[in-house]
Amino acid sequence: MKVAFEVNGKALEVEVEPRLSLADCLRDVLGLTGTHLGCEHGVCGACTVIVDGEAVRSCLTLAVQAAGENIVTVEGLSRDKGLTPLQAAFRKHHALQCGFCTPGMVTTAHALLSEEPDADAERVREALSGNICRCTGYISIVEAVLEARTAYRTAEGES
Ligand code: FES
Ligand code: FES
């Protein structure tokens, strides 16, 4: 089937099998391997991408379900020059170790702060509660997201 959508600001059309997941489409068809696959059944959050502003599990979404949508992956949350405020906060707070969970953490945090730049620690923990990290213990991730709030209040966090 042909599917047309926008990925990281680019209008694209791809030919996919009807049962292909959005995660496999992004990684294998479009080469966007920043989206990670862990559990592949909706538990770990590593595959989270942003679809029309919402954090979505791309392992549980079919590529065809994303037709006509605006998709943002972790690659779309980077800048050519320098780190974004969210990335800089992750680095400052040592919010990643192996980095496997990081794309899902960053996309989830971006979706949250874009809507709720005043989210408190409890809300941040709640939003990230579906994202598993085996390395950091979460405290540093929450601290990074809380620090990045300032940038989202001024729209500087938008990539
Ligand atoms: S790979 Fe999608 S939630 Fe784990
Ligand atoms: S940094 Fe290793 S799983 Fe989170």
For the chain, the structural domain boundaries read 2-77, 85-153
Name the residue among 146, 155, 39 with its Cα closest to residue 100.
39
Shortest-distance atom of ligand 1 to CA 38: 1
Q: Kind and range of the H or E element at 126? A: helix 121-127
Name the residue among 4, 43, 9 with its Cα closest to residue 25.
4
Question: Was domain 2-77 assigned CATH 3.40.30.10?
Answer: no
85-153 and 2-77 share a CATH fold? no
Q: Along the chain (159 residues), what's the average pLDDT of each consecutive run of 10 residues? A: 97 97 98 98 98 98 98 95 95 98 98 98 98 97 98 78
Give me ligand 1 centre to Cα 154, in Å.
32
pLDDT number for residue 69: 98
Our answer on whether the CB atom of 132 is closer than 6 Å to any ligand 1 atom is: no
Per DSSP, the three-state class of 66 is helix
Our answer on whether the CB atom of 101 is closer than 6 Å to any ligand 2 atom is: yes
Give me ligand 1 centre to Cα 44, in Å.
5
**Phi, psi (rounded to 5 degrees) for 144:** -65, -45
Fold of 85-153: DNA polymerase; domain 1 (1.10.150)
